[in-house]
Amino acid sequence: MPKRLRRSMLFVPGNNPALIIDAPVFAPDSIILDLEDAVAVDQKDAARELVVSALKTLDFGPSEICVRINARHTPFFAEDVRALTPARPHALRLAMVESAEDIACLDELLTKCEAEAALTPGTIKIMAAIETAQGVLNAREIALASPRLVAMSFGAEDFTNSIQSERTSHGHELLLARAAVVLAARAAGIDPIDTVYSQVDDDAGFRADVHAAKQMGFAGKSCVHPRQIAVVHDVFSPTAEEVMKAERVLAAFADALQQGSGVIAVDGKMVDGPIVAKAQRIVSLAKASESSLEGRVR
Amino acid sequence: MIANKVGRLVPSFVENLGEFEPFAGVFATPPTGRRYAPPLCKPAAGGKKLLSSLRQAILASGLQSGMTISFHHHFRNGDLLVNMVVDEIAALGLRDITLAPSSLQSIHQALIPHIRSGVITAITTSGLRGELAEVLTRESLLKSPVLIRSHGGRARAIESGELKIDVAFLGASAADIYGNMNGIHGPAACGSLGYAMVDAQYADCVVGVTDNIVPYPALPISIPQTQVDFVVQVDKVGDPKGIMTGATRLTRDPLELYIAAQATRVIEASGYFCEGFSFQAGTGGASLAVAKFLKEKMAATGLRGGFSTGGSTGYICEMLKEGYFSAILDTQCFDLAAVESLRTNPRHVEMSASYYANPHAKACTAHITDIMMLAATEIDTAFNVNVLTGSDGIMMGASGGHSDTAAGTKLRLVTAPLIRGRFPIVVDSVHTVITPGECIDVLVTERGIAVNPTQPTLRERLHEAGIATVSIEELQWRAEKLTGKPEPLAQGDELVALVEYRDGTLIDVVRRVL
């Protein structure tokens, strides 16, 4: 089975039935039903019920289904986890994670709730949202805090607030934090996911931002609008040219192995271990992208 | 009642309307007879036609109780003329009038008291909306059912004399005192007067109504002095706010954009998107976005279109200006940018409803267009389309050019969200058939694409291009999985409307909703 792609993660307000029903149409790699920022404090209970009901009744197709739950220090956290576990989302994205302890606490509660719901321990995965200076500094420990962790996302809006700065178009204020999240996640073998780009109308700006995220090492990007998904998939999927080149490298490598030859060259260039590994990564990403196209929502 | 080709029970005779043939297939019923001709007349001395009020014009026209009056709908929901004229007719004590506009809008709810009091006792129109439509679907207020005609069908009925217009009241945003008129100058500019042209040619008496008398001759001449009996100047003939529709902006709705992107893929793969292709976009929803996406493809490939037809919007006019299309043949302008284009671009021309869509004209553009974007309020598993009645059975739309263009265009593509409100768009059987399924090639929704089984070549072409298709029954199942199956509507036996197919046969009826 190809690796699960997390190029695009579409936020959908947890209190909007029409948007929840339509989300799979756009075939994002992940759908994040949001119980945190999108939902007013006095509507948390209703939204939670709606999301639980959606998880139990709707077919989301091949998309991964996550729920962004309220931060550990809020009065909604425990009830979010208790109510959602029996509905079996693929993962919970915990908002405002600042320490490994936040994740350990969620892991422990999930284990308990899974047992109560007769689910295999570890069924529900965790994604950690790093959105504060404290979270960035503890990113490495956070990324290693639970075997349930599959991804670590960065949230720029709260982060700039926590460092008493503001978001700019050049994004210099985010550089170190984004890099820290990528490093921590990659070192732990989980997916780093970049922050949202809120200016929905700025197509060129968004595309540049997605390119930058890919270049920094992110595996994907959180999206606030369905129209952003195609751009993300376009940027994060290898081009036909890249795939062809990678296939040539792998073929030459296989050939060399068979013939016991130590030195390989493709297109006149020496091919060594990291280049073979990169080619393998590109081909596997291409295969996963292709299968995500085949499995598009109906 | 007899069953027609699409399995609907239709009457063969209706009191006050006469005999009808059942719909027998798209081109199955050939025309007979000759064109109707209005009487010859002796023009007033010195060609003086200008009258000071609508009342004077009504009196001068010789309008009597029991006669038929007509209007165009180019002012759309900004139309002030229909209500003004009917108010005057009522004040003059006339009764039993047949109202035969090319279409009616929600602003015409002001007619309801005149219907209740017997001033208007029959209506034939392409569509009707709002409270007027609701009242006429829920109550039996007229002496005969509303007769729904397509734009081409109306032109045909007027030319054949089936719809005999005694007096046509035709609003114009500019006119001279001898009756030359257009819709492109003046405060109530609405652009093309295409629907009015047929009335002007065949009505026994033509009254031009304007709020903008210009020096002779009123150029360009959309309706000529040779067809106009009287000219009346009023304070205001139309409200610009209502004339310009809001439906002509490019959509930002992600679902509609997604449907448009899928429809664009279908068009590309269909084999009809080639040098010189002709196109009708329609307005609103996904269809304008399709035009945008096609433009991007054309920009990338250098491919250029031939003519664009039907109504016009600023976006299509911009494409004409930039050379993506070679001409626009226009029955109605949907926004001011389109009016401006008609005024300034010599390759943007008006055409009459007959030129556009009359099935019995010696040629109509609806029969020679390559790609047509169609809408649907419902579509059934036999691909029959409804654009007249809503999910509650109430009339809320118009037949328009739907069945006309579907009959003759090469690629007939319906785009619609699979679920609208809480209702599935694909149903077992549409409430009202406007366009028969034999004229629909493909349905594009956000949750799948279904090709009519009668079009295996198209399906193959889509598959070759990597576009997955499913059966329309599968789409229905996908919708009903989310919405459930709607309960059947409670309706009576009484007929509140007859739906005439473009050739004059009956394709369906609308029953009173209880």
Both tokens assigned to B241? 């706010």
The minimal CB distance from A25 to the residues B447, B470, B481 is found for B447
Chain B CB contacts of A22 below 8 Å: 254-255, 446
Q: What is the pLDDT of residue A296?
A: 42
Which residue shows structure tokens 């039907």? B310
Q: What is the pLDDT of residue B286?
A: 83
Task: Kindly state whether B258 is in contact with chain A, defined as any CB-CB distance less than 8 angstroms.
Answer: yes
Cβ contact (<8 Å) for A226 and B446?
A: no
Chain A CB contacts of B257 below 8 Å: 227
- The string of DSSP letters for B160-211 reads HTSS--SEEEEEESEE-TTS-EESSSSTT-----HHHHHHHHH-SEEEEEES
- Neighbour-count burial of B344, counting CB atoms closer than 10 A to its CB (0-12 exposed, 13-18 middle, 19+ buried): exposed
Closest chain B residue to the Cα of A295, Cα to Cα = B468
pLDDT averaged per 10 residues in sequence order, chain A, 298 residues: 83 95 95 96 96 95 96 97 98 98 98 97 97 98 98 96 92 95 98 94 93 96 94 90 88 84 77 84 80 45
The minimal CB distance from B254 to the residues A21, A26, A297 is found for A26
**In Å, how far are A21, B260, B267 from B417, measured between CA atoms?**
13, 10, 18
Give the Cα separation of B442 and B462 in Å (integer). Answer: 11
Whether the ipTM is more than 0.95: the answer is: no
CB B370 within 8 A of CB B277: yes
Cβ contact (<8 Å) for B470 and A59?
A: no
CB B469 within 8 A of CB B450: yes
* pLDDT tens per residue across span B239-249: 988 888 655 67
The minimal CB distance from A21 to the residues B468, B470, B482 is found for B482
Task: Kindly state whether B470 is in contact with chain A, defined as any CB-CB distance less than 8 angstroms.
Answer: yes
Closest chain B residue to the Cα of A227, Cα to Cα = B254
CB pairs under 8 A between A and B: 25
Give the Cα separation of B81 and B238 in Å (integer). Answer: 7
Residues of chain B under the 70 pLDDT cut = 245-248, 283-284
Q: What is the pLDDT of residue B146?
A: 98
Choose the mutation target among A11, A16, A25 for the interface with B, i.e. most B CBs under 10 Å. A25
Chain A CB contacts of B446 below 8 Å: 22, 25
Cβ contact (<8 Å) for B447 and A21?
A: no
Q: What is the pLDDT of residue B248?
A: 61
Closest chain A residue to the Cα of B479, Cα to Cα = A298
Which residue shows structure tokens 């006149």? A268
Q: What is the pLDDT of residue B42?
A: 84
Chain B CB contacts of A59 below 8 Å: 481
The minimal CB distance from A226 to the residues B254, B470, B478 is found for B254
Q: Model-level pTM? A: 0.90
Give how far A175 is from chain B: nearest CA, Å.
Answer: 31
Give how far A83 is from chain B: nearest CA, Å.
Answer: 23
Q: What is the pLDDT of residue A291?
A: 58
Chain A CB contacts of B448 below 8 Å: 298
Chain B CB contacts of A297 below 8 Å: 447
Both tokens assigned to B16? 């006050």
Q: What is the pLDDT of residue A265?
A: 80
Give the Cα separation of B6 and B149 in Å (integer). Answer: 17
Q: What is the pLDDT of residue A140?
A: 97
The minimal CB distance from A25 to the residues B258, B468, B481 is found for B258
Closest chain B residue to the Cα of A21, Cα to Cα = B482
* pLDDT tens per residue across span B274-290: 999 999 987 667 888 99
Any residues with CB less than 8 A from the CB of B178 and at least 6 apart, and which?
Answer: B47, B49, B216, B217, B225, B228, B231
Phi (first) and psi of residue B89, to 5 degrees: -60, -40
Chain A CB contacts of B258 below 8 Å: 25-26, 226
Chain B CB contacts of A223 below 8 Å: none
Residue among B395, B502, B439, B432 at smallest CA distance from B150: B502
